[in-house]
Structures are given as C-alpha cells and as structure tokens.
Amino acid sequence: MVRRRTRPLRSSNPYTALIGDMLASRSLASDDRSRVQEEFNNFIDLLNRKYREALLSDFVVTLGDEFQGILRDPTVISDLIWDTTLAKQLPQLRLGIGFGRIDTAIPVRAINLDGPALHNARAAVDLAKKDDILGGVFYGFGEMTDTIANGIARLLRFHVSKRSDAQLQIIELLRNGHSQTEIAKMTGRTPQAINAHKSAAGWEAFSAGDKALQRILQQYKRD
C-alpha cells in the first residue's frame, strides 16, 4: 500500500501527467453548465478515491472544464479512459497523457506544476482537440511507446464506439472481475444470454487490447 503524502515532493524522476478537457462545455446554457460543473467535480472526486494509490498528485479541476493530475502508476490509464467513456452524465472528455520531468515541487494536489511532463500532456490534449480524437493521446514516452499506445488507444475507442449500452454493461462487469454466472444473476439474464452478449461485445479482443496498453505503460511506473 502506498503511503499517503502530506507535503510537496521534489523528485528528479520522470512521471506521467494527465490532462482532461471537457468537450463543448462553453456552449452549454447557464443552468446546464451549473449542473454539469457539479457532476464534473463529483466525477473528479470519484477518480481521486478510486485511483488513490496510483496518483502522485491528485486530480484537480482547472479552468472550469479541464482537470489534471500526476500518476506514479500509468498502467491505470486504460481504466481511466474507460471511466471517462462511461461518464454519461458529462460531455465527452478528451485525454492527453504526457511523460517527462516535473521541474517544480509536486504538491499533494496537482496545482502550480510545470515541466516537460505537463507540456507533453498539454501537447497531447491539444492534438486530441485538433484531430477530434477520443480515447486518449500519448506523447513524450518515446517514439515507439507513443506509436504503440496511440495505436492501441485508437483501436479500443473504435471498438467501444460500436458497442450497445447492454454490451458496454457486460464489458464493465467483466472488467471488474465478475464471472458470467455472477453477471447473469446481477442482470436477470440467463447465462446463455450473457455469453451471447459477451461474444457480440467482442470481449476477448477488447480485453487483449486493454491488457496490451497496460503492459506497454508498465515500464513507466514509479515507486
């Protein structure tokens, strides 16, 4: 279990920075914007609780419709991408993931930070905006890792975009480690129906891609 920091940290190690940007938030009506902002804050709080041990510096909302954080364990990024994809209460989120040095002290919450990790994450999220990319953009991990991680992320996003809500529900439960028998009981379906949904959802292909993304990022994990 990772010991929780209470003071800023100075480190020469490179880390993974993540910046998320909410699509079209400025075009929302004032009433909708207030509701979405509250949902956004709640969602970021949820991510901080869920990924506490993977975070070096907690996610914080910046500029109203963006958030950023520093990860000690980037293998959870596939889970973060999945969580943002399923956050139906929010506009879609673009994610930029950068790797590099952090020149400032690293606080417990990701504010007042600077360095190549943040610059690379900003370049990645700007590219996501420019090219209309969802599912995460990686930059600064090295040419080979950037190419592999971005290729896997594009394929996973394409796969998810073709799934029905029922199929996404099955994938979510399978990702959380539930067996087909458990899922049948939880959803009130027969095991045969769950097996059919699993096959139609392309679970085996999705799971292989998910694990491949985690594996390529494992080398960037920091204790």
Average pLDDT over residues 34-39: 86
For residues 66 and 25, give the distance between their C-alpha atoms in angstroms, rounded to a whole number.
Answer: 10
Residue-level pLDDT at 185: 94
Residue-level pLDDT at 118: 96
Residue-level pLDDT at 179: 94
| 201-217 per-position pLDDT tens digit | 999 999 999 999 999 99
Residue-level pLDDT at 202: 96
Among 198, 71, 200, residue whose Cα is nearest residue 136 = 71
> In degrees rounded to 5, what are phi and psi of residue 117?
-60, -45
| Average pLDDT over all residues of the chain | 92
Residue-level pLDDT at 103: 94
For residues 13 and 35, give the distance between their C-alpha atoms in angstroms, rounded to a whole number.
Answer: 39
Decide: residue 88, CB within 10 A, 0-12 exposed, 13-18 middle, 19+ buried: exposed
Instruction: Look up the pTM and report it.
Output: 0.92
| 133-155 per-position pLDDT tens digit | 999 999 999 999 999 999 999 99
Contact 36, 86 (CB under 8 A): no
Residue-level pLDDT at 216: 98
For residues 181 and 204, give the distance between their C-alpha atoms in angstroms, rounded to a whole number.
Answer: 17
Residue-level pLDDT at 3: 60
User: Following DSSP, what letter does each residue of 95-134 receive, concatenated?
Assistant: EEEEEE---S-B-SBS-S--SHHHHHHHHHHHHHHHTT--
| 159-170 per-position pLDDT tens digit | 999 999 989 999
Residue 131 neighbours by CB distance under 10 Å:
8
Average pLDDT over residues 42-65: 94
Question: In the chain, pLDDT over 90 holds for what percent of residues?
Answer: 82
| Band (23; pLDDT cuts 50, 70, 90) | confident
pLDDT-wise least confident of 27-36, 156-165, 168-177: 27-36
| 76-133 per-position pLDDT tens digit | 999 999 999 999 888 899 999 999 999 999 999 999 999 999 999 999 999 999 999 9
Among 168, 157, 154, residue whose Cα is nearest residue 88 = 168
User: Following DSSP, what letter does each residue of 24-60 receive, concatenated?
Assistant: TGGGS-HHHHHHHHHHHHHHHHHHHHHTGGGEEEEEE
* pLDDT surpasses 70 at 26: no
* pLDDT surpasses 70 at 157: yes
